[in-house]
Amino acid sequence: MKYLVTGGAGFIGSNLVRHLLKTQPDAHVTNLDALTYAGKLANLSGVEEGERYRFVHGDICDPAAVRGAMDGVDLVMNLAAESHVDRSIMSDAPFVRTNVMGTQTLLAAALELGVSRFVQVSTDEVYGELPWFEPGDAAGLEHRFTERTPLAPRSPYSATKAAADHLALSYHMTHGLDVVVTRCSNNYGPYQFPEKLIPLMTTYALAGRRLPVYGDGLNVRDWIHVDDHCRGLLAAAARGDPGAVYNFGGDAERTNLSVVQTILTTLGKPADLVEYVTDRKGHDRRYAIDASWAKSELDWKPTVDFEDGLGATVRWYRDNELWWQGADA
């Protein structure tokens, strides 16, 4: 099987490339990445170019680069995206360009070249926000995102991802392109650029800096380890129904504050490093994924316990200081 992974030098993309090469001996992977600030070839250290893997430096908005990378490919997995909500609030144009126009360029090439399947990798943020419940409150289980939840994005980032999802599904309905859309809760694990919550707070704590927590810190997110997400993506690619949407979550709702406190405890740092700052504009109060459809239809489930996975992730950043030092977060 020949795969094209776009954004394969980013956080989830690089983990997916590694996972493919490790678990599928017959997989041939082309990685198309523009190497913007969050994409690093260092994320693929140890992955050697050769018969089963090649890297193509290119922009998914460039039709020629896309066709060159996609030619002869069986399956496209689109992970290339601008993904940081804060950056989308400051300037949304790059998000519209990459997330919408880039996805359209990929879809058009996939249709032209006869790609057998196109997996559009999206986010739970396209659903908007949920009523707030304390993590662990049984009532919260009745208020989670399902694949039937209407899309109601509330940030420029999530709006562009919702637009890309609609485009991808329209190519299935209009042109018959075999498209599968996946939507996932917050990922964590190694190689995540230190602008997102867990690596940002971990690297700040390691440097003895104050840890800025938005608002009261009680915004709730459902966390999934990137390895579990990669397994879900490959399950959707292999067994998903054409035109279907699958949600992946880790069954691990936590408040942002509790995650930060756990990081400090793991590193043996004082709790008073936490500094409450003005909340982000339009900050969604709660996300939570109901992944029961993916569990039943794809024979998938999350396997990494959040506390174990978080501890291992924090230790990875502690032990790989050269990787994150100097990053512009």
The answer to whether residue 157 is catalytic is: yes
Catalytic residue among 125, 165, 227, 253: 125
Q: Per the structure block, which two tokens stand in for 75?
A: 């399956």
Q: Determine which one of 53, 127, 157, 287 is catalytic.
A: 157
CA distance 7 to 77: 9
Is 127 one of the annotated active-site residues of the chain? no
Catalytic residue among 124, 129, 251, 253: 124
Asked if 185 and 223 count as a contact pair (C-beta separation under 8 A), the reply is: yes
What string of DSSP letters covers 235-257? HHHHHPPTT-EEEE--S-EEEHH
Residue type for position 323: W
Q: How many residues does the chain have?
A: 329
Measuring CA to CA, which residue among 35, 125, 29 is closest to residue 80? 35
Backbone angles phi, psi at 186, to 5 degrees: -60, 125
Strands 253-255 and 220-225: antiparallel
Pairing of strands 179-184, 245-248: parallel
Please give the helix or strand (H or E) that residue 259 lies within, else none: helix 256-267
Residue 124 catalytic?
A: yes
Asked whether the beta carbons of 82 and 95 are under 8 A apart, the reply is yes
For residue 204, what are its two tokens? 């700040």
Residue 234 CA to chain centroid, in angstroms?
Answer: 14
Cα–Cα distance, 181 to 122 (Å, whole number): 7
State whether residue 244 is helix, strand or coil. coil
Structure tokens at 301: 């489930």
Q: What angle do CA 282, 287, 289 make, to 5 degrees?
A: 150
Catalytic site residues?
A: 124-125, 157
